[in-house]
Structure 1
Amino acid sequence: MNLFRNAHHYHRLLLVPALALTVSLTACQSPDKLGESKPQQNESIVIDSPQKSYDEKNGATAPPATHHPDREASTETSSLNKTGPGNSGKPDEWSLDEPRLKGVAIGDSNEVIHRYFGQAEDSYHLEEEAESIRVLEYDGFSIGLDQSGFVHFVEVFGADTLAGLSGLRIGDDPDKALKELGKPDSRSDYLFIYDAAGATLKLDVNPDRDEIVAMKLIAQG
């Protein structure tokens, strides 16, 4: 009996230190580790990128929303800028009622010319019988302004310059002018003349090379 009591007592002595050790280990666990199993709601929603981190570090703001351009408007603007101011209809088509060359009409203002073509490469004055004309020289074409600052003439002479004249270009065969513009009001081996509303279109022709060498739209009168 004494042997049994002694064994039971010895077992209790071993159990007490074991329980104390378990409690001690539980108490020493880090609160951070205990909380690792809990999801952080804010961090799970926001996904940072390297670009965003770089922008925030350098004080940059978020990029603007993507802009989707109007394809129809972009196409129209592109077409007008090929030759110049143009008109709201067909800027590249010759019209006797609304004559234009390089998209420019007689009477267009200096402001319109500057807005579409920018600063001229050169300029000079051409003295005519009635008045002095200020000539603006661009790459492949020139524009003459009267003393009030309105277009008096437009001339195209560059082979690579879009004239906005029903597809007609410098270097084309004169027969193409007949096909695209029709029969001229006056014609010689060196010159085709088309009379239009408030303006005259003149095509200079080199008969030796059988090609158009210059186009000029000039105010009548």
Structure 2
Amino acid sequence: MQRPLFRPSLTAAILLINITLLLYGCSAQEGSMPPTSTEPSYAKHNGTDSHSATKKKDKKNEQTVIASPKENSSEGEGSVAEQTFDRTQPKLKGISLKSTDKDIRTLWGEPDNHFVMDEIDPIDVLEYGGFSFGCHQSGDVVFVEVSGEGQSTGIKGLKIGDNEDQAERTLGKPDHDTNYVWSYEIKSALLRLDMDPKTNKIQSVKLFPNNNV
């Protein structure tokens, strides 16, 4: 029998198959590789990339922005620490008659309402939620009034709506007592409590100059 002119050897055939498989495997591996990430390694932790980390950081910063008391001045309560009543330096809502309109704004922020009482000596009135201040044009405080139901007066243990027993425990016996008004003379100042004669509860508290002294 005559042999064919060309027949590749078994070894050559095996080599050709191996080369083909090798090339196919490299091509498949190259196509299956994910794109190279440009994110730094420190930005990934437990499946969190740098974008998520930035969002969490921004969210944390947002949570640390807390409104100051004076930005919530209309709420009033808790914005100023209450003080024990001091007859030598009486205050309401943390403000005395020696304070100025700048002191008021520093403590309570801008008022909810502002108007001028048309008198011979005009008085600027700064109104907040449940309390107000009056100032001369020079800026000096001329009166403080607290009238909001349940509102703290700034005097420890005394708020609007308290009964006369609580008022006496906090302030002592008044210098003057009528069915409608309790008053305390303090140097050149006067602290006045307007009382409801039917319920004996405080309706408002005012601090203003005592012109009788």
Aligning the two structures, in what range does the TM-score lie when normalised by the shorter sequence? 0.5 to 0.7
Tell me if structure 1 keeps the 8 A contact 2:77–2:151. no
TM-score, length basis structure 2? 0.68
- d(CA) in 2 for partners of 1:150 and 1:218? 12
Q: 2:21 matched to 1:25?
A: yes
Question: What SS class does the counterpart of residue 63 from structure 1 fall into?
Answer: helix
TM-score, length basis structure 1? 0.66
- 1:46-104 CA deviation, whole Å, 9 max, x = no partner? 5264781797xxxx8963876997xxxx99xx9xx6366x5xxx534322233111221
Q: Give the count of matched residue pairs.
A: 192
Partner of 2:179: 189
- d(CA) in 2 for partners of 1:109 and 1:196? 19
- 1:113-162 CA deviation, whole Å, 9 max, x = no partner? 2341423424231537xx43333333322211123111111011221322
CA RMSD of aligned residues (A): 4.1
Question: Kindly tell me: are residues 13 and 53 of structure 1, through their superposed partners in 2, closer, same or farther at Cα, counting changes over 3 Å?
Answer: same
Could you list the runs of 4 or more consecutive aligned residues of structure 1 that deviate by over 6 angstroms after TM superposition?
Answer: 40-44
- d(CA) in 2 for partners of 1:102 and 1:212? 16
* Pairing 1:170-189 to 2, within 5 Å after superposition: 170-189=160-179
Structure 2: any 5+ residue segments left out of the alignment?
none
Larger radius of gyration: 1
The structure with more helix, counted as a fraction of residues = 1
What's the offset of the Cα at 1:41? 10
Q: Tell me the percent identity.
A: 28
Tell me if structure 1 keeps the 8 A contact 2:117–2:123. yes
* Pairing 1:112-151 to 2, within 5 Å after superposition: 112-115=103-106, 116-125=108-117, 127=119, 131-151=121-141
